[in-house]
Homo-oligomer: A and B are copies of this chain.
Amino acid sequence: MKITATKENLLFGVSAVQKAVNTKNTLAILTCIKIEAKGDHLYFTATDLEVGIQCKVPAEVLTEGITVVPARYFTEIVRKLPDSVITLELIQDNELMIRYENSELNLKTMAADEFPQLPEVEGEHKLTIEAAKIKQMVKQIVFACSTDENRPLFTGVLCEIDNNEIRMISTDTHRLALKRESLQNKQKKNFSFIVPAKILAEMARLIQDEEAFCEMNIAKNLATFTIDNIQIVCRLFDGQFPNYQQVIPSQYTLKIRTSTKALQEAVERISLFSLDNSSNTIHLEIEKNSLKLFSQSELGQGHEQILINTEGDPVKIAFNYRYLLDVFRVIDDEELTIEFTGPLSPGIIRPVQSDTFLYLVLPVRC
């Protein structure tokens, strides 16, 4: 293998596949990146056997070939290379010579045939969706997933394709986020699948070009997502996601409307008095056109009042303030509404300008 490429392209390639490298893996080969020179491109591949990422970048390929390098060191080297043309050449079968200007670095490599093959996905479902839409959807729902590996299904995001709509739903059983977007579903088939949240988060991070498209290829237990020159292959969760529609109330006894920022800042301040207790509880008392927030602990207590629009009956209710702050951060709208059906029923938060997002949060009993 012998190629020349710009530092910029090499850096783009190694950065893109980084999240699929587990540098702490006891299998040395999984702490590596595979580099393949073929045609006019270099293909960087990394996998931790749960997810595989491949990224191709332009290169002048003088001799085709494959090598496998330690991810951590190769990445560090590429980051620090000068902004000039770089030559990579595999010598003596187990050294990658990295040449630039008057200098050369020789990095020991591993046997390319030990590197695991990424599975080929021949899915029955194929979809194309604007990358910018995916990015926004993921941002708005991924935080509500569980991080508890003992209940793996809730560390995933349910994706539902329903006619010309795609919905993403996440829940950790204390709160639930739902986001919908329109979609051209050419195959006219409805289906659903559950993707690990951390893979969706990484995909969203890798979307640089908002004009790009994301191609999804969904098989039974496996999916590929392709965006420009990057391809992600991952396992899907096998299991039955709870019937989320059942838990979303269809009516309410009180609806409030308020400035997102004002409410967020008030919750941030009042929640300071929950810092030393474990319940993270903040109390809300809603009367006509008034929302009072209250919390107390050994440190002291805080009261704050903000003026809001109300429609319906007064309520006293308490929430875990973290679940409120999480959602305020992803609502871009200036105003939001919250619907209540009593002190023991969930609150439903929606941005005022958009009916594509919904957040359900269970109250705290106290």
Q: Which of B268, B300, B304 contacts A108 (CB 8 A)?
A: B300
Chain B residues near A104: list those with CB within 8 A: 302-304
**With A76-B275, A80-B272, A82-B265: A299-B108 Cβ-Cβ less than 8 Å:** yes
- A73 close to B275 (CB less than 8 A): yes
**With A80-B265, A265-B80: A73-B106 Cβ-Cβ less than 8 Å:** no
- B272 close to A77 (CB less than 8 A): yes
Chain B residues near A96: list those with CB within 8 A: 300
Bound together, the chains give a CA A275 to CA B102 distance in angstroms of: 22
- A73 close to B272 (CB less than 8 A): yes
- B265 close to A302 (CB less than 8 A): no
Chain B residues near A300: list those with CB within 8 A: 73, 95-96, 105-108
Whether A143 sits at the interface, judged by CB under 8 Å, is no
Q: Chain A 59-73, CB within 8 Å of chain B: the 1/0 string?
A: 000000000001001
Bound together, the chains give a CA A272 to CA B304 distance in angstroms of: 54
Whether A1 sits at the interface, judged by CB under 8 Å, is no
Bound together, the chains give a CA A306 to CA B100 distance in angstroms of: 12
- A70 close to B303 (CB less than 8 A): no
Whether A208 sits at the interface, judged by CB under 8 Å, is no
**With A76-B275, A80-B265: A70-B299 Cβ-Cβ less than 8 Å:** yes
How many copies of the shown chain assemble into the complex? 2
Whether A121 sits at the interface, judged by CB under 8 Å, is no
Bound together, the chains give a CA A348 to CA B192 distance in angstroms of: 68
Whether A148 sits at the interface, judged by CB under 8 Å, is no
Whether A173 sits at the interface, judged by CB under 8 Å, is no
Bound together, the chains give a CA A270 to CA B76 distance in angstroms of: 11
Most buried by B among A103, A106, A266, A301: A103
Bound together, the chains give a CA A304 to CA B77 distance in angstroms of: 13
Residue in chain B with minimal CB distance to A76: B272
Q: Which of B102, B105, B298, B303 contacts A302 (CB 8 A)?
A: B105
- B106 close to A269 (CB less than 8 A): no
Task: State the Cβ distance, A290 to closest chain B Cβ, in Å.
Answer: 9
Task: State the Cβ distance, A272 to closest chain B Cβ, in Å.
Answer: 5
Chain B residues near A299: list those with CB within 8 A: 70, 73, 107-108
Q: In chain A between 290 and 323, which residues have their CB closer than 8 angstroms to a CB of chain B?
A: 298-306
Whether A362 sits at the interface, judged by CB under 8 Å, is no
A residues near B (Cβ < 8 Å) are 70, 73, 76-77, 80-82, 95-96, 102-108, 265-266, 268-270, 272-273, 275, 298-306
Q: 3 smallest A-B Cβ distances: which pairs?
A: A103-B304, A105-B302, A107-B300
